[in-house]
Chain A
């Protein structure tokens, strides 16, 4: 079931916004941050990611990694530009479905 998603048309083009949750065990450490930035950079639209009151450029690895999003953190991803919708879809796929090709947290009691 998709998370809440908004879409509007302004003079700057399409603006899309969605909330994604970090699901891999180790969170948004360096390699996932790199994958996120690489995916975001493939689109022309501007991408802003916010968490806990901080808003950063989704195409900057420095800023993304400094969000230090751990497993379970919810990120608000906002894209603005012609290909905003495609960007949002791709980033959601990476974070929530592929989970950066990393394992989810182990269930309790299975050590």
Chain B
């Protein structure tokens, strides 16, 4: 039994066999072999090495690479590893001693070497673990060949264990079988965390070297409430967790009871509760959990997991499916927010050195107009089906907003010429998620029909903290006084301009922040579907007067710690079960 502590990012308990996927989506099951298979597996290792060497030799000789000495050096080093007899012996010995398949032995041997490098204090040497991972992947590609199994083809319940999960991988998860997620990297707002929450899968991230400790097929407990994972639990621990898991399910069930009740505070203030979704099929879940519409429909999934861009019809079908679920209730579609991730980076000749400050989101769209217009056309066409609204992400200044709206008008004119119907009065809003947008909210409000505060990016840009870097993620806080002052400015400016302001970031789903947001004047909240009942429960347990006094107190505080301790106490009084 081994217990690891990480960051809890999605609530719930799951107990299942582990499925280890590495950063290229390969699963390496621990399969035992009969002694008679040993020769055959050893031969497979030899063949994989030979093919990998041939492949690398070709790459090394390749014209375009010959000029780039550094890359050539990397391949040269990898080649020497592949030719290293002691490495091959280590692997073939494992096949004999552990009685495992070639791919498992390759994975085991190279992960052991990689973890040796990871432990070395010298940064220059420890980073070489990446080379070892690359060699491992190259060999596994050969061994797995055509029978590469992805997480899409699961037949039993698993806890997915990975070093790091990319948006592409999580987009392919099958909720029916993926019961929990544990990853080495990532913070509370990493992509894996957001997806886990929206799918309602318990998840713990920032577990350091967890994926190297756990073996494929080991029993793993993911405690997404306390941020703990346990490998191969003993009988007593397993029993305790099975019980705890039942209790937690009961609490969830109890909260489900308030589904039909409106989100109204005790003193009668009506709040609008919306859901954030990533995939069209989640719309149904928002409805089931008692949401009144979609406050944030992320559309990146359409672009991930595929080699070509989605067609206009594919966009349209996805939007239409969601809008039909909600009929005349609001569905806010956010235009594509790609960038700072695998999708845009992998399509680049040279990846950006600082992608979060680079060509991402609306900037990416404004430089890829054909792609952007395709999406806008589909959204406009779908706008006649219900109460659809358009939202632009990462607007940083007025110029950008005006330019984006001009493109939207261009697309409208195109549709007019083709006599295609759309709602000419469709509401157009923006995400406020950079300090520059927050500080100029007063001006932006004149050109926007609504605001939605993206607290994740707003926090990371305000505090200059990379939300996915576990070495600094403790500095990341939605309730830092600097962030709160910006949020207050945004809300006040929206009120002055008499436009709606919603909060759709993670902050809105943290029980301790809900009262503060209400006290600061927020009346529309959009959260991941599983969080809706809990947030609604808080809304129904408080008065606006109490919230106002909490907000007044908190806005006078100077330290993040003071704020978070105070808010936690206040929330505990209202909803003791959540803590």
Interface residues of A (CB under 8 A from B): 26-31, 33-34, 37-38, 57, 60-63, 65-66, 68, 70
Contacts and interface: CB of A to CB of B under 8 A. Distances in A.
B124 A29 contact: yes
A28 B77 CA distance: 13
B87 A30 contact: no
Interface string B56-73: 000000000000000001
B86 interface: yes
A28 B86 CA distance: 19
A68 B122 contact: yes
B66 to A, nearest CB: 17
Contact of B86 (A29, A31, A60, A70): A60
B116 interface: yes
Nearest to B109: A62
Interface in B74-126: 74, 76-77, 80-81, 84-87, 90, 113, 116-117, 120, 122, 124-125
A65 B117 CA distance: 9
Contact of A68 (B80, B85, B117): B117
Given A27-B122, A29-B128, A62-B113, 17 more contacts: A26-B124, A27-B125, A28-B125, A29-B125, A30-B77, A30-B131, A33-B77, A34-B76, A60-B85, A60-B86, A60-B87, A61-B80, A61-B84, A66-B117, A68-B117, A68-B125, A70-B122
B87 A68 contact: no
B116 A66 contact: yes
B73 A31 contact: yes
Contacts of A61: 77, 80-81, 84
Nearest to A69: B125
A9 B237 CA distance: 63
A37 B80 contact: yes
Contacts of A37: 80
B555 to A, nearest CB: 42
Q: For the side of the interface on B, what is the size category?
A: 20 to 34
Nearest to B131: A30
Nearest to A66: B116
* Closest 10 pairs (CB-CB, A-B): A61-B80, A60-B86, A30-B77, A62-B87, A68-B120, A62-B84, A26-B124, A70-B122, A68-B125, A34-B77
B478 to A, nearest CB: 36
B105 to A, nearest CB: 15
Q: Is the interface of A mostly helix, strand, loop or mixed?
A: helix
A38 B83 CA distance: 12
A61 B116 CA distance: 14
B125 to A, nearest CB: 5
A60 B85 CA distance: 7
A62 B74 CA distance: 14
Nearest to B73: A31
10 contacts: A26-B124, A27-B124, A30-B73, A30-B74, A30-B131, A31-B73, A38-B80, A62-B84, A65-B117, A68-B122
B325 to A, nearest CB: 54
A56 B90 CA distance: 14
B128 A30 contact: yes
Nearest to B116: A66
A74 to B, nearest CB: 16
A18 to B, nearest CB: 23
A108 B551 CA distance: 51
Contacts of B90: 62
A105 B408 CA distance: 56
A66 B113 contact: yes
Contacts of A33: 77
Contacts of B120: 68
Contacts of A26: 124
Interface string B277-314: 00000000000000000000000000000000000000
Nearest to A61: B80
Contacts of A60: 84-87
Contacts of B73: 30-31, 34
Interface string B527-540: 00000000000000
A57 B86 contact: yes
Contacts of B87: 60, 62
Contacts of A34: 73, 76-77, 80
A57 B85 CA distance: 11
A27 B77 CA distance: 16
Contacts of A29: 124-125, 128
B113 to A, nearest CB: 7
Given A68-B122, A68-B125, A70-B122, A62 B86 contact: yes
Contacts of A62: 81, 84, 86-87, 90, 113
A94 to B, nearest CB: 16
B124 A63 contact: no
Contacts of B117: 65-66, 68
Contacts of A66: 113, 116-117
Interface in B126-143: 128, 131
Contacts of B125: 27-29, 68, 70
A63 B74 CA distance: 17
A62 B132 CA distance: 10
A30 B129 CA distance: 10
A103 B125 CA distance: 16
Contact of A65 (B74, B76, B128): B128
B91 to A, nearest CB: 11
A36 B433 CA distance: 51
A63 B77 contact: no
B77 A31 contact: yes
A38 to B, nearest CB: 8
Contacts of B80: 34, 37-38, 61
A103 B106 CA distance: 35
Instruction: Name the residue among A27, A30, A33, A70 with the largest chain B CB count within 10 angstroms.
Output: A30
A72 to B, nearest CB: 11
Contacts of B84: 60-62
A31 B90 CA distance: 22
B130 to A, nearest CB: 10
B117 to A, nearest CB: 7
A65 B461 CA distance: 39
A54 B176 CA distance: 49
A61 B87 CA distance: 9
Contacts of B122: 27, 68, 70
